Amino acid sequence: MKGVMLNRKGKLGVCPRLLEFADDARQFILHNRSIIEMAPLQVYSAALLFTPEASIVRKQYLKRIPWILMEPKVMQKWSPLIQILNGINGHASQINTVVFSPDGKLVASASDDFTVRLWNPATGGPCGVLQRHLGRVTAVVF
């Protein structure tokens, strides 16, 4: 498994396999961030099992999980949907507005659960909750 090919100028070249692997690793961690954050060993079960068929990470590691007899049916490729802002660690109700901050470093979501939540768009991680509203929040601007 060679990671690098020398290109004509003698500069380092990166082989397609390494690039594909890195891209797949990025998808893997983005899609599974919240479950991995909660439970370390879910890396090898929930995260891996529900990873799309075509994923390199899945192909590379799934064979190492001895106790799985039948794998669940999963999608072929990574879905463009990376994260859902309600549910566990998110809003408890419908979301009405989502907006980026002017500098692009923050995302705010306003919900019927009476809160506004802030998110880091680079990691998907939560950055805070504004919870002093006394009613459904229908709009939010920076």
Partner 1 sequence: MQTWEQQKYLSKLPDAKGAAYNDRLWEYEDHCLPDTRVELRQKIMDWFEDPNGEYIFWLNGMAGTGKSTISRTVAWELAEKKRLAASFFFSRDHGDISHAGQFFTTIAAQLTRSLPVLRPLISQAIQEHSDIWNQRLSEQWKYLILDPLKNAPAQSIQLVVVIDALDECDSTDDIQMILKLLAQAKCLETIQLRVLVASRPETPILLGFRNFPRERYQDFVLHNIPPPIVNHDISIFFRRKLSSVKSEPGLSTTPWPGEPIIQRLVEKADGLFIYAATIYRFIRDDNYTPEDQLSVILEDHNTPPQSPTKHLDDMYTKLLQQSVVGSQIVRVDDHLAVRFRNIVGSIIILFDIMAAKEIAKLLHVRTIATTLASLRSVLSVPEDEDQPVRIFHPSFRDFLLDSHRCLDSRFLIDPKEAHITLFRNCIMVLAELRQDLCNLREPGVSVGDIPEHIIQRYIPAHIYYACRYWFHHFQLGNPIQEDMDRILRFLAQDFLHWLEALSLIREVSNGVLIVADLEMTLRVS
Which residues bind to partner 1, rule: CB under 8 A?
1-4, 6, 12, 14-15, 17-19, 21-23, 25-26, 29-30, 33, 36-45, 47-48, 57, 60-61, 64, 118, 120, 122-129, 131-132
**Going by C-beta distance under 8 Å and a sequence separation of 6 or more, which residues neighbour residue 102?**
142
CB of 29 to partner 1, least distance (A): 5
- Structure-block tokens of residue 125: 């991680």
Minimum distance between the CB of residue 75 and partner 1, rounded to whole angstroms? 20
Q: What is the largest CA-CA distance in the chain?
A: 65
Residue 98 vs 130, nearer CB to partner 1: 130
DSSP per residue, 37-93? HH-GGGGTTHHHHTS-TT-HHHHHHGGG-TT-SSPPP--SS--S----SBSTTSBSS
| Closer by beta carbon to partner 1, 18 or else 98 | 18
CB of 64 to partner 1, least distance (A): 8
Nearer to partner 1, 21 or 50 (CB): 21
Q: How far is the CB of 118 from partner 1 (least distance, A)?
A: 8
Which is closer to partner 1, CB of 29 or CB of 74? 29
CA distance to 10, 18, 19, per residue, from 7 (Å): 5, 15, 16
